[in-house]
Structure 1
Amino acid sequence: MKDMRPAGRMWNLYKMGGITPALTSMFDVQSAQQMAFMRSIMKEQRKNSLYDIPLETVELVVFDLETTGFSPYHGDEIISVGAVAVNGDSIMEDQSFYSLVNPKRNIPEQVVELTGITNEMADNAPDLYQGLRAFLEFVQKKVLVAHGTGHDKHFLNSALWKTSKVNLSHRMIDTMMVAKWLNPKLGHYDLDTLLQEYGIEVSTRHHALEDALMTAKLWSTFMVEFKSKNIESLGDLYAKLSY
Structure 2
Amino acid sequence: MLLRKYFPSNLVENTPLSTPIDKLEFTVFDTETTGFDISKSDRLIEIGAVKVKGMQVIEESTFQTYVNPYRQISREITELTGISDSEVLRAPDSLQAIEAFLELGNESSVCFVGHYIAFDLYTIKYELKRHKLHWKMPPAIDTLNLIGYIAPSYDMRDLEKYAREFGTRIYRRHSAIGDALMTAYLFTELLQRCHDRGCRTWGELLRIGEIDR
Aligned residue identity for 1:129: L
- Name the CA distance, whole Å, in 1 between partners of 2:170 and 2:58: 18
Please name the residue that 1:66 is paired with: 32
Q: Which moved more, 1:133-142 or 1:118-127?
A: 133-142
Please name the residue that 1:77 is paired with: 43
- Name the CA distance, whole Å, in 2 between partners of 1:56 and 1:210: 24
Whether 2:155 is the aligned partner of 1:190: answer no
Following superposition, the deviation at residue 241 of structure 1 comes to: 4.3
Please name the residue that 2:204 is paired with: 236
In 2, are the aligned partners of 1:57 and 1:87 still within 8 Å (CA)? yes
- Name the CA distance, whole Å, in 2 between partners of 1:214 and 1:205: 9
Whether 2:67 is the aligned partner of 1:95: answer no
Following superposition, the deviation at residue 163 of structure 1 comes to: 2.3
Q: Which moved more, 1:49-58 or 1:121-130?
A: 49-58
Flag as ranges the 4+ runs of structure 1 deviating above 6 A: none
- Name the CA distance, whole Å, in 1 between partners of 2:182 and 2:171: 8
Superposed CA RMSD in Å reads: 2.2
- SS state at 2:131 partner: helix
Aligned residue identity for 1:228: D
Please name the residue that 2:182 is paired with: 214
Whether 2:86 is the aligned partner of 1:120: answer yes
Following superposition, the deviation at residue 105 of structure 1 comes to: 0.7
Q: Structure 2: which 5+ residue stretches go unaligned?
A: none
Among 176, 179, 190, which residue is 2:144 paired with? 176
Following superposition, the deviation at residue 139 of structure 1 comes to: 4.8
Whether 2:115 is the aligned partner of 1:156: answer no
- Name the CA distance, whole Å, in 2 between partners of 1:128 and 1:220: 29
Please name the residue that 1:49 is paired with: 14
Deviations 1:169-206 (A, max 9, x none): 42100001111121111221321220110122322111
- SS state at 1:134 partner: helix
**Of the two, which has the highest radius of gyration?**
1
In 2, are the aligned partners of 1:148 and 1:176 still within 8 Å (CA)? yes
Following superposition, the deviation at residue 74 of structure 1 comes to: 2.1
Whether 2:191 is the aligned partner of 1:226: answer no
Among 131, 134, 138, which residue is 1:166 paired with? 134
| TM-score of the superposed pair, with normalisation by structure 1 | 0.79
- SS state at 1:74 partner: coil
Following superposition, the deviation at residue 52 of structure 1 comes to: 3.4
Q: Structure 1: which 5+ residue stretches go unaligned?
A: 1-5, 8-18, 24-34
- SS state at 2:19 partner: coil
Aligned residue identity for 2:88: A
